[in-house]
Chains A and B, each alone.
Chain A
């Protein structure tokens, strides 16, 4: 049973085709790597999946439906590449606001527990702008995972993360994975993909170049590592 179904997805911006007939599925509880060089169409696919873009053609479904952010039966956590929160508001106000919007039963209690977990209890009533970059990332991550989402989409999650936050993120991914959350991981770090992902899709210029389990993809490329496969596919692009 799949949580994400993308079928014959095509996306054009004016005369430019960004995605060409893309189809893939993400299973429930699966960690799925969405890979590709910059401009290959990864973020566009996620944005169309979340309804920010209207696809030129094709179907993009989450849990069998077009995504509706207010449907409490289909909860999605999204950590975009470009991310931020209300800097002028306090840490607790930011967390409680998002927890309320995501329909959590006890937003304050959840927020306090999360702050304790990430060691930021003393920052509860600080304005977000007073926190360091790494501390702000922890809050963004909290907003993303609140309410145990059915699907978690992480776009370059470790970009700018210090080693401590990177370890925290890995812990959270593993924890949510155990609870049955499906995760779409968009990253340039192939070691993360090899370590975490069950399956992956490699995109180039909006076209799927490889799709399947990590083992199948490696076999398709004569047992090469994902790093080597990545270089082989995108090296052509740079030549």
Chain B
């Protein structure tokens, strides 16, 4: 790497890594997710312990005759059971009425000392009834009746090939999410890193030591590296959580579903890398064209909204239909990165469209980076807004 470029990149990376605000923004969401998971996990465990303690006294009055041998038949009528619960003779009382088959309803009685968010009463009686009925059924009949089996989906596309759309979308989808995270987490920093020199009147002094081109490109490289650090810091806890819960049926089901489609993954990675260069160029251009942070934020917000525009039309993309609106969003420069990644994820992007989209992104990125360096050089010493000539008011 060119020496001044390396010096700028290193300086920008180190100074950001030293800022507590950087780590706060990096770790806030993963820490929040982790905390939420831990609270949920501990509460889940608490519920488990409260399900049926050994000394819990249960009574069931079965007028429908579902339980041939009812060890919980302590009371003849519903009223007796209710009275027993109120007087503390039993903790839980279930009443199965004679017309259960019609009403499909069981009454449950319990004395509580607070708000019970996690009610396990229905699961308990369902388990007892299921076990009672199961005694007269074969294993297959029981399985058919309870529905506790998996339906393995096998779809075919119109050309007869296997069409595991969801499985193939998982990896490209994660790459698209990573880009979205980069945009959300790094957007502000990308713009502000260029505004700083102007706000602090550093521009003239630094431009006698390094060219505007190397200063801007160095900053862009640094911001991209920092963005990757942020993405890794963001995703790493999720990976750890998934690994720790790899035995969870839902997670193993997702793993079983994943299908590696090399074309889609390579396309996603290329789109991801150039999209990062593209959006970094756009946001630093805003920083280089505006005199201060306040002005920059006025332009940054619309640019980010335009970038995530495809998400407003997510339903349209999910339908798989490629109409005029989808094409428009796909090739509109600011929305192109997310639209292209989204369509690649859903398998509705042809090779031709991918190439056109990539060429567009690469060309615009190169143009924008050059323009950013030029704008910075020109605007760095004006300490004012670089307004294009056609927007300037003519003096009369």
Question: Which residues of A approach B to under 8 Å, CB–CB?
Answer: 47, 50, 52, 68-70, 76-80, 82-89, 93, 97-98, 100-103, 140, 143-144
Q: Interface code B1-17, partner A: CB below 8 Å = 1, 0 otherwise?
A: 00110011001000100
Range of interface residues on B (Cβ < 8 Å): 20 to 34
Task: Specify which chain A residues have a CB less than 8 angstroms from the CB of B211 in the assembled complex.
Answer: 68-70
Task: Specify which chain B residues have a CB less than 8 angstroms from the CB of A103 in the assembled complex.
Answer: 3
Q: Which of chain A's residues has its CB closest to B6's CB?
A: A100
Task: Kindly state the separation between the CA atoms of A50 and B377 in the bound complex, as whole angstroms.
Answer: 11
Q: Which positions 8-43 of chain B face chain A at CB distance < 8 Å? A: 8, 11, 15, 19
A85 and B209 form a contact (CB under 8 A): no
* A80-B204, A83-B201, A89-B15 as given contacts; A52 in contact with B381, CB under 8 Å: yes
Q: Which of chain B's residues has its CB closest to A52's CB?
A: B381
B383 and A101 form a contact (CB under 8 A): no
Q: Interface code B344-381, partner A: CB below 8 Å = 1, 0 otherwise?
A: 00000000000000000000000000000000010011
Q: How many A-B residue pairs have CB under 8 A?
A: 70
**In the complex, what's the smallest C-beta–C-beta distance from B213 to chain A, in angstroms?**
10
Find the residue from A76, A78, A97 having the highest chain B CB count within 10 A: A97
**In the complex, what's the smallest C-beta–C-beta distance from B5 to chain A, in angstroms?**
10
Task: Kindly state the separation between the CA atoms of A100 and B383 in the bound complex, as whole angstroms.
Answer: 26
Task: Specify which chain A residues have a CB less than 8 angstroms from the CB of B210 in the assembled complex.
Answer: 69-70, 101
A69 and B207 form a contact (CB under 8 A): yes
Task: Specify which chain B residues have a CB less than 8 angstroms from the CB of A93 in the assembled complex.
Answer: 11, 15
B205 contacts the other chain (CB 8 A): yes
Question: Which residues of B approach A to under 8 Å, CB–CB?
Answer: 3-4, 7-8, 11, 15, 19, 196, 200-202, 204-211, 214, 377, 380-381, 383
**In the complex, what's the smallest C-beta–C-beta distance from A220 to chain B, in angstroms?**
33
B205 and A143 form a contact (CB under 8 A): yes
Q: Chain A's interface: helix, strand, loop or mixed, by majority?
A: loop
Task: Specify which chain B residues have a CB less than 8 angstroms from the CB of A85 in the assembled complex.
Answer: 200, 202, 205
Task: Specify which chain A residues have a CB less than 8 angstroms from the CB of B214 in the assembled complex.
Answer: 70
Task: Specify which chain B residues have a CB less than 8 angstroms from the CB of A83 in the assembled complex.
Answer: 201, 204-205
Task: Specify which chain A residues have a CB less than 8 angstroms from the CB of B209 in the assembled complex.
Answer: 69, 98, 101-102
B4 and A86 form a contact (CB under 8 A): no
**In the complex, what's the smallest C-beta–C-beta distance from B82 to chain A, in angstroms?**
71
**In the complex, what's the smallest C-beta–C-beta distance from B123 to chain A, in angstroms?**
57
* A47-B381, A89-B15 as given contacts; A101 in contact with B201, CB under 8 Å: no
Task: Specify which chain B residues have a CB less than 8 angstroms from the CB of A86 in the assembled complex.
Answer: 15, 196, 200, 202
Task: Kindly state the separation between the CA atoms of A102 and B377 in the bound complex, as whole angstroms.
Answer: 18
Find the residue from A70, A77, A85 having the highest chain B CB count within 10 A: A70
Task: Specify which chain A residues have a CB less than 8 angstroms from the CB of B196 in the assembled complex.
Answer: 86
Query: What 9 pairs between A and B have smallest CB-CB spacing?
Result: A84-B201, A101-B209, A80-B204, A84-B200, A78-B208, A82-B201, A100-B7, A101-B210, A97-B11
Question: Can you list 18 A-B pairs, Cβ within 8 angstroms, ordered by A?
Answer: A47-B204, A68-B211, A69-B210, A70-B211, A70-B214, A80-B204, A82-B383, A83-B204, A84-B200, A84-B201, A84-B202, A85-B205, A87-B200, A88-B15, A98-B205, A101-B4, A101-B8, A101-B209
Task: Kindly state the separation between the CA atoms of A82 and B380 in the bound complex, as whole angstroms.
Answer: 11
Task: Specify which chain A residues have a CB less than 8 angstroms from the CB of B7 in the assembled complex.
Answer: 97, 100-101
Q: Which of chain A's residues has its CB closest to B7's CB?
A: A100
Task: Kindly state the separation between the CA atoms of A134 and B15 in the bound complex, as whole angstroms.
Answer: 25
* Partner among B8, B11, B15, B205 whose Cβ is within 8 Å of the Cβ of A80: B205
Find the residue from B3, B204, B211 having the highest chain A CB count within 10 A: B204
Q: Which of chain A's residues has its CB closest to B210's CB?
A: A101
B208 and A50 form a contact (CB under 8 A): yes
**In the complex, what's the smallest C-beta–C-beta distance from A162 to chain B, in angstroms?**
20
Task: Specify which chain B residues have a CB less than 8 angstroms from the CB of A89 in the assembled complex.
Answer: 15
Task: Kindly state the separation between the CA atoms of A45 and B201 in the bound complex, as whole angstroms.
Answer: 19
Task: Specify which chain A residues have a CB less than 8 angstroms from the CB of B205 in the assembled complex.
Answer: 78-80, 83-85, 98, 140, 143-144
**In the complex, what's the smallest C-beta–C-beta distance from A103 to chain B, in angstroms?**
8
